[in-house]
Chain A
Amino acid sequence: MLLPDFITRHVLFAMVFGGVAGIGFMVFLIEFDHYTSSEAFCTTCHSMELAAEPYRQSSHYLPVSGVRASCGDCHVSPGVFAATWDHFVGGKDLFRQIFGADYDDPVINALHLPEAAFSARDWFRRNDSHTCRRCHEQEAIVGKRADTLEIHQQDAKDKTCVDCHINLVHRPVPERATYKRDAWNRMVEQQFGLEAGSAERLLAE
Chain B
Amino acid sequence: MPPNLRCLLVVLSLLSGTAWGAKVSLTPDNWGHPAGEDCVSCHTKSSAGIAGQWKESAHARAGVNCMDCHQAEVGDADAITHEGQTIATVVSPKDCGRCHTTEMEQQRGSVHAEAVAVIAERMPAMVNNVAGPAIEAAGCAQCHGSEVNLMANGKLDPNTWPNSGIGRINPDGSRGSCSSCHGRHLFSKAQAREPQACVRCHSGPDSPDKEVFEASKHGMAFMANREKMNLDGETWVAGKDYSAAPTCATCHMGAAGKLPSTHDVGMRNAWNLNTPVSERQYLVVFDDGGKRELPESMSAPRPGSRVPKLDGTEAAVKMVATPQRRRDAMTLVCRECHGKDFANAFMTQFDEVVHLYNEKFGKPAQAIMQDLYSQKKLTPAPFDEPIEFTYWELWHDEGARARHGASMASPNHAWWEGMYVVGRNFYSRFLPQVREVAGSDAAGILERHLGSVEQHQWLKAPEKGSPILGVGNPRGGNE
Contact = CB atoms under 8 A, between A and B. Distances in A.
A145 to B, nearest CB: 8
B92 to A, nearest CB: 17
A172 B152 CA distance: 9
B45 A183 contact: no
B74 interface: yes
Contacts of B153: 167, 171-174, 187
Interface stretch (A13-21, A72-80, A99-107, A149-157): A149-157
Contact of A150 (B45, B79, B155): B45
A173 B154 contact: yes
Nearest to B149: A183
A174 to B, nearest CB: 3
Contact of B86 (A150, A177, A180, A188): A177
B45 A155 contact: yes
Interface in A118-152: 145-147, 150-151
Contacts of A159: 83
Interface in A18-77: none
A147 B84 CA distance: 21
Nearest to A190: B152
Contacts of A177: 74, 81, 86
B46 interface: yes
Question: Which residue among B41, B74, B81 has the maximum number of chain A CB atoms within 10 Å of its CB?
Answer: B81
Contacts of B154: 167, 172-175, 178-179
A150 B45 CA distance: 8
B80 interface: yes
B79 A178 contact: yes
A175 B153 CA distance: 9
B151 interface: yes
A164 interface: yes
B38 interface: yes
A136 to B, nearest CB: 18
B81 A174 contact: yes
Interface residues of A, number: 26
A151 B38 CA distance: 11
Nearest to A114: B152
A12 B81 CA distance: 63
A184 B152 CA distance: 5
Interface in B20-55: 38, 41-42, 45-46, 48
Interface residues of B, number: 19
Contact of B83 (A146, A163, A167): A163
Given A147-B46, A151-B45, A155-B45, A164 B152 contact: no
Contacts of A188: 152
B86 A178 contact: yes
B83 A147 contact: no
Nearest to B153: A172
Given A164-B83, A178-B80, A178-B86, A187 B151 contact: yes
A171 B152 CA distance: 11
Nearest to B38: A155
Contact of A155 (B41, B48, B152): B41
Contact of A172 (B41, B81, B155): B155
Contact of A175 (B46, B80, B151, B155): B80
B48, B86, B154, most chain A CB atoms within 10 A:
B154
Contacts of B152: 174, 180, 183-184, 186-188
Interface of A: 145-147, 150-151, 154-155, 159, 163-164, 167, 171-180, 183-184, 186-188
22 contacts: A146-B45, A147-B48, A151-B46, A155-B38, A155-B45, A164-B83, A172-B153, A172-B154, A172-B155, A173-B154, A174-B80, A174-B152, A174-B153, A174-B154, A178-B79, A178-B80, A179-B154, A180-B152, A183-B150, A183-B151, A187-B152, A187-B153
Given A154-B41, A174-B153, A177-B81, 11 more contacts: A147-B45, A150-B45, A167-B153, A171-B153, A172-B155, A177-B74, A178-B79, A178-B81, A183-B150, A183-B152, A187-B152
Interface of B: 38, 41-42, 45-46, 48, 74, 79-81, 83-84, 86, 150-155
Question: Which are the 8 A-B pairs with shortest beta-carbon distances?
Answer: A174-B154, A147-B45, A175-B81, A187-B152, A183-B152, A172-B153, A155-B42, A184-B152
